[in-house]
Structure 1
C-alpha cells in the first residue's frame, strides 16, 4: 500500500497509464473525518463516490475533531483526510493551532467545495448581525481549537471578544450543535445547507445566520487564511438563509499521506473528477463542486500523483 518517495516517483507514469488496474479488487483505505456535522457529510459522500468509481473501498474513520486524525495522515497510518484550507495550512506549516507541530506529510489531493460557514442563532433572539451577540451565550472551545479560532475571528469583526459575551465551555462541534438544540447556548457555527442546520431549525424553530459586512473579509482572512465573504441572493431555500445574508467561505480540501501510493491517489482523484453528478446527488453542500477546480487552492503542495492526474486531464493549474 505504501511506497517510498523514490519508488513513488518512479512508478508515477505507470500509475496514470494503468489507473486502478494494478490494485487488488476493493482495496480498503481509510479517511479521517469527524463525528457528525458537515465534515462527516463530506467524508460520507467522498467515500461513496470514490468507492463506487474505483477499485478502492474507502472507510471513514470518525474522530472527535480534525486535530486527532491530522497526525495519523501525516505519519501514513491513515491514507486520506479532509479539512478546511485554513486548518490544513496550519497543520502543514506548523503554525497557529498546529504551532510547533508541522505536518509536511500532508499532501493535497483535491480542492472540493467552498465551505460556506456562518454563525447561526434562533430567530427568536431577533438579532441579525454579529454585534447582536453582545451578552449572549457563546460556545467556548479549548484555546487553539478550530472552533476557538472561528468564534474569535467572527466576534472580532464586530469588535467583540469573549469578555463581551457569556462563554459556555464546549468540547467539540457535535456538543456545540447539541447545546443550541438544548437551549444551553444562543449561537453555533454552522455550514450552510448541512444536516445540523435542519436539525437545529427543527429543534428551536426558525433560525437566522448572522450577516457579516463589507470589510470583514480582511479581518477573517488574517485569522483564517483563504477566507472570503459569500452572499446568497438567488440561492435556493435553506435554513437561516435569505437574499440579504452574508456568510463566509473557505475551500475544503481532500489530502493524502505523502506515503500513500500513486495508484491509490490517482484512483481517488479520477473517481472524484468523473463523479460530479454522483457528488451533487449528496445534497446542497455539493452544489458548487466543479471538477475543473479540483487543482485550485495551490497554496499547499499537492501529492505528485494528483498533480500528474490533473495535468493529464488538462486542469493543472486551475484557471
Structure 2
C-alpha cells in the first residue's frame, strides 16, 4: 500500500465551496435517492475533498444531487447525522467515540450512538521521532518526552493505543502538553519532545526527514500477537499495516505501523438494509471515476476499504453487498459480531448507569466522573 499523501496533494483535487450543491449530468437510477446530503470535515480537508470526489462520481453515474455539508467539529458532524439532516457522514474517530460514549459523547445529552459503517479508507498512524533519538521500540518510550495535544482526544487516543503495544500508558511517559497536532510534530523537529503521534501524510514529516537528525518511526510489528492483543483491548479499530512509501520508508525498507480508517463512511443503524446496500454498491461501482482525484483515493479500492476493523460495526446492507461480490471473510464476520456485542454492552451499561444516577439524584455536573468510573468497573 502506498501512503504518501500531503495536504498539497489533497488540495490539487477539486473541492466545492462550503455547502454548495454538486450538479453534473447523469442518468437517474432508482437505487439512489434523487437528493442526498452528506457531511464531512471543513472545506479543504482531506475528508471533504474525498467526499466531494465520491459525490461527483455518483452524480455522474446516477444523476442524484448530493450536497456535502462541511463541519469543523466531530460533534457537529455527529449532530447532523443523528438529527437526520444528513444520511451519510465522512467521520473520523468520533464514530468510535460516539459508539463508546467517550469524550464529547459522554454527556447525558449524548450517550452511546447506534451507528454503522459502510466502508472505510485505510490510513496510517505511528509514533515518530528523529533518527538520532536513540529510540528503537515502543518500549523505549518509557520515561521519555511524548507530545500530548490539548483538546485533541483523537490523536491522544491513538498514542495511548500504540503505547499499550509495549504495555505502557500515558503515566509511563513524560507528557509534554502542546497546543495542537502540528505543534507536536514541530516539537519533534525542534527537539523539545522525543516523540509524537503522526498520521502518515502530514507535510512536516518531510521536514523532519530532511533535517540533520533525520526521521525515525517506532515499529509496531504485525507478528507480535501479544502486543496487538494489548492494542485491541484499548482500541479494536486498529489493525497492523505497513508503510512502503513515505517519510522514512521505501518498498525495500518498509515500516510496520498502525492502520485505522479515515474517513469512515457512516450511517445510522436504523438505515434500511436496502438503502445501505444501494449506496455502498454505487460508491464501489463509481471507483474508476474518483480513484485518481488524489493519491489517497487508491485506498478506496474495495479489496482494502471493504474489510474491518472500522470504528463501528459494518451495516448489514453493506455486508450483504460485500458477500455478494465475494470479499467478506469469516474473520470479517467474527470481528463484526464481536463489535456488535461490545456496542450492546456499552448501551446496556449506559442505561443501567443512568438509572443508578437518577436514583441517587446525581447532578449533571457529576455525571462525567460517575460514567467514567462506571465504565471502568463494568466495561
TM-score by length of 2: 0.60
User: Residue 5 of structure 1 aligns with which residue?
Assistant: none
Structure 1 match to 2:218: 210
Encode CA deviations 1:164-222: one digit per residue, 9 max, x unaligned. 43312245545545554665544332233x2x1x3332266232221124132111111
Q: Which residue of 1 aligns with 2:240?
A: 229
Shift of 1:74: 2.0
Alpha-carbon distance in 2 for matches of 1:63, 1:98: 16
Distance 1:185 1:44, change over 3 A: farther
Per-residue Cα deviation, 1:67-121 (whole angstroms, up to 9, x for no partner): 553243222244432345x7534423536884461112x332x222332221122
Tell me how far 1:50 sits from its aligned partner: 1.6
Relative to structure 1, is the Cα distance of residues 179 and 265 closer, same or farther in structure 2, using a 3 angstrom cutoff?
Answer: farther
Separation in 1, partners of 2:287, 2:103: 34
Equivalent residue of 1:18, what SS? coil
Q: Which residue of 2 aligns with 1:137?
A: 145
The answer to whether structure 1 residue 61 and structure 2 residue 66 are counterparts is no
Instruction: Return closer, same or farther for 1:34/1:138 CA change in 2, 3 Å cut-off.
Output: farther
Q: Report the counterpart of residue 274 of structure 1 in structure 2.
A: 285
Distance 1:140 1:256, change over 3 A: same
Higher helix share: 2
Alignment gaps of 5+ in structure 2: 1-27, 330-379
Residue in structure 2 matched with residue 247 of structure 1 by the alignment: 257
The Cα offsets for residues 220-249 of structure 1, whole Å up to 9 and x where unpaired, read as: 1110114222245xx3x3112252522112
d(CA) in 2 for partners of 1:111 and 1:47?
16
The structure-2 alpha-carbon separation of the partners of 1:183 and 1:43, relative to structure 1 and needing over 3 Å to count, comes to farther
Is the Cα–Cα contact under 8 Å of residues 19 and 266 in structure 1 kept in the other structure?
no
Once residues 42 and 154 of structure 1 are traced to their aligned partners in structure 2, the CA distance between those partners, rounded to angstroms, is: 24
Check if 1:121 corresponds to 2:129: yes
Q: Deviations 1:270-307 (Å, cap 9, x if unpaired)?
A: 44212333443244434443335655438845557656
| Larger RCO (CA within 8 A; separation ≥ 6) | 1
Aligned length: 285
How many Å separate the matches in 2 of 1:126 and 1:298? 33
Partner of 1:91: 98
1:51 positional shift: 2.3
Which deviates further from its counterpart, 43-52 or 94-103?
A: 94-103
C-alpha separation between the residues in 1 aligned to 2:273 and 2:209?
Answer: 48
Instruction: Please tell me whether the aligned partners of residues 39 and 80 of structure 2 are also in contact (alpha carbons under 8 angstroms).
Output: no
In structure 2, do the counterparts of structure 1 residues 93 and 316 end up closer, same or farther at CA, with 3 Å as the change threshold? farther
With the length of structure 1 as denominator, give the TM-score of the two structures: 0.70
Does residue 315 of structure 1 match 2:320? no
Residues 96 and 174 of structure 1: is their aligned pair in 2 closer, same or farther, counting only changes over 3 Å?
A: same
Gaps of 5+ in 1: 1-15
1:159–1:317 CA distance, 2 compared to 1 (3 A): closer
2:299 is the alignment partner of 1:291:
no
Give the CA deviation at 1:161: 3.3
**Which structure has the larger Rg?**
2
Question: Which residue in 1 is equivalent to 2:206?
Answer: 201
- Report the equivalent of 1:166: 174
- Other-structure match for 2:377: none
Contact 1:49/1:271 (CA < 8 Å) preserved in 2?
A: no
- Matching residue of 2:342: none
Q: Judging changes above 3 Å, is the alpha-carbon distance between structure 1 residues 57 and 217 closer, same or farther for their aligned structure 2 residues? A: same
- The 3 A distance-change label for structure 1 pair 114 and 153 is same
Native 8 Å contact 1:118 1:189 kept in 2: yes
Secondary structure of the residue aligned to 2:70 is strand
Aligned equivalent of 2:46: 41
